[in-house]
Structure 1
Amino acid sequence: MNTSLYKVALSKSFSWDAAKQINALVGGTRGSGKSFFALGALVQLASFPRFDESKLLGIGTLPTPIFTIDFKNSDIARLGELLPKKRVAVNKKEAIAVLTHFDQLMHRRLKVIRDYSFGATASKLKMPLYYLIIDEWSATNAAFMSGMTKADKDLRYRWQALIQDISMLGRAAGFGLIVISQQISVTNSGISSAVQEEAGLKLHFGDAEMSSYRLTFGNEVQIPDVQLNVGEAFAWIEGVTSSGYVIPFAAPYGDAANIWNILTQALASQDDDYYLDYRLR
């Protein structure tokens, strides 16, 4: 039985430990269910711990502060109505501000952790996680790659440097990334090798050509001959999918009509500073 304080249900049969596999990549074509799945995962993250397997919401004593970047200005961006100010970005300038703040909080958390014994981490100390969700990575990264002015180049450099820093240092601090994109390969989407290598969870939603699955999971992973529908995905989880095969699963059914009320409850406890040194006793 998985008794982790940081357990996110991927299906009724298995889960993702968001503290151990701190960064996640979620791929799939438009309409495959990846964004709606991310909202359900966000509910669980924001209301940790979740001990009742029958409920989406946890008890909220270890809530995860959520930050988002959504250049489409769609469902993920609407969380700005529920989150504290300056947590949601819909353009390059706002994205750099959100990333910079997130990165600064991470380094402050690392300083707090260093006051504890050698080898301490946020999860060992039962500290809340912090998560940044980037929707439609391909379009977002392309926006930063365009433009040749000095200002464009400065934003591009800061974007790449901040993503790299968070990817490399986030695990010990409990600061994670969820990257959502139609393609999540280095070649096709511009995702850096650092993000790919540090991803402990990789999901691909919906039916696709084998070449697309290979771009997501790599050539060494075996892909079952299973056709996926909307809301169904293959999962690779670091330390779990050790057989060489990805796991096919159907995400839990989400109540679309009630999701906003659920999100409102889940995001009731959000604070930038309070949870940096908070520990669950």
Structure 2
Amino acid sequence: MKSVTAKTTPAPATLSAPQKHRPLLKYWDLYIMLVPALVFLLVFKYTPMYGVVIAFKDYNIIQGVMKSPWVGLQHFRELFAFDEFPKVVRNTLMISLMKLCLGFPAPIVLALLLNELRIAVFKRSVQTITYLPHFISWVVIGGLAVDLLSPNSGIVNKLIQLFGFEPVFFMSDEKLFRWILVFSDIWKEAGWGAIIYLAALLGINEELFQSATVDGAGRLKQIWHIALPGIRSTIIVLLLLRLGNVLEAGFEQVLAMYNPTVYEVADIIDTYVFRVGLGTMQFGLTTAAGLFKSVIGCVLLVAANFLARKMGEDGIF
């Protein structure tokens, strides 16, 4: 009678140290390219975070951050009781929501229109012209806005006067200034934002459009039923990031374009922190305002991401 021996499965081979680090060594050039981005985040994003403790201290420049005495939540109590703080929060939300409602769909519409162009040279030319303003400084754009909208020498008011109307003081009119901020932001950033959506549109299977054409669907129906669903995940992710920055109303833009006559409608949290922090040297109070803005933005981002995952999207984390 033959003896039956039990078969034993061989133990998995253990990787040696050189084998474990082989992927790291294989892509060493990519990791080196990643170093500048990591250094940037470390130096400009994470290292300054220790300065948040100024919001809880009676900061003195001579004593420094660590030796200044603790005051707890005193700065936050003063901040919320300050007469101007509700106004700057309201202005920040109003400008940011106006940019969100009008500015967020703009690059999507622009990308869909560019995607429909069939003449390659014309398409590239339009795309280049629309994203070039992204590289122009807000200081330059602010100067252009002042010159173009000047009530005395601006070309816009020259045209208004040509039709027999009185010149309009655009840059000092509280009813118009917010719209100037919104539309100048759209003009500057829509072309740059459209690049992401164009890349997402290129990832859609071209056979879907061909099948829809065979079935008799027009271009509008193809956009609605194929293009937009195809870039929905990209739209959701960018919308989540935008909601997380809802209290970022555009510090550089507002600082370059506003003036004391429109403080009532244009003074946002960032400009308030900059003006009060440097003007009256209240560093603890302004740090508390900045920390308040960051906490609210983080809460909104987490809540928006939670809702997106509930709706079946991946979210950002």
Shorter-chain TM-score tier: under 0.3
Larger Rg: 2
The TM-score normalised by the length of structure 1 is: 0.23
The TM-score normalised by the length of structure 2 is: 0.21
- Specify which structure has the higher proportion of strand: 1
